[in-house]
Amino acid sequence: MAKKVDTWRAQNQLLADIKRVVEAKGINPVEDEYTIVQPYANSEAIIVSVINQGEKRKVNVQINDATIVLPQREESLDVFKTEEKK
């Protein structure tokens, strides 16, 4: 059985770490839109999405008890500007 953690503290820790985490991936935490998924045991997760809405930024936090995280695929979606590896 997994150790229980306080959800409020886990959420606040993730929110406090966002800038460091997204900057490490080359994302601008002040201007870019992004989503972070912090998986936990038993398919639980905290999901944070940051989006632009006009002149404002919206932060949405979800606490889910049934989150399925699939393995990362090696392809890149064609709607994003990224350099193709050969």
Residue recorded with tokens 């889910």: 64
What is the pLDDT, as a whole number, of residue 22?
92
* Domain residue spans of the chain: 7-64
DSSP alpha helix (H) spans, the chain: 7-24
Beta-carbon contacts of residue 37 (< 8 Å; ≥ 6 apart): 45, 46, 47, 67, 69
What percent of the chain shows pLDDT beyond 70?
Answer: 95
What is the pLDDT, as a whole number, of residue 1?
85
Torsion sign, CA atoms 63, 41, 37, 77: negative
Reading the block at residue 42, the tokens are 């038993």
Reading the block at residue 81, the tokens are 């500007």
* Per-residue pLDDT reduced to its tens digit, 35-71: 999 999 999 999 999 999 988 999 999 999 999 999 9
Q: Distance between the two ends of the chain, CA-based, in angstroms?
A: 44
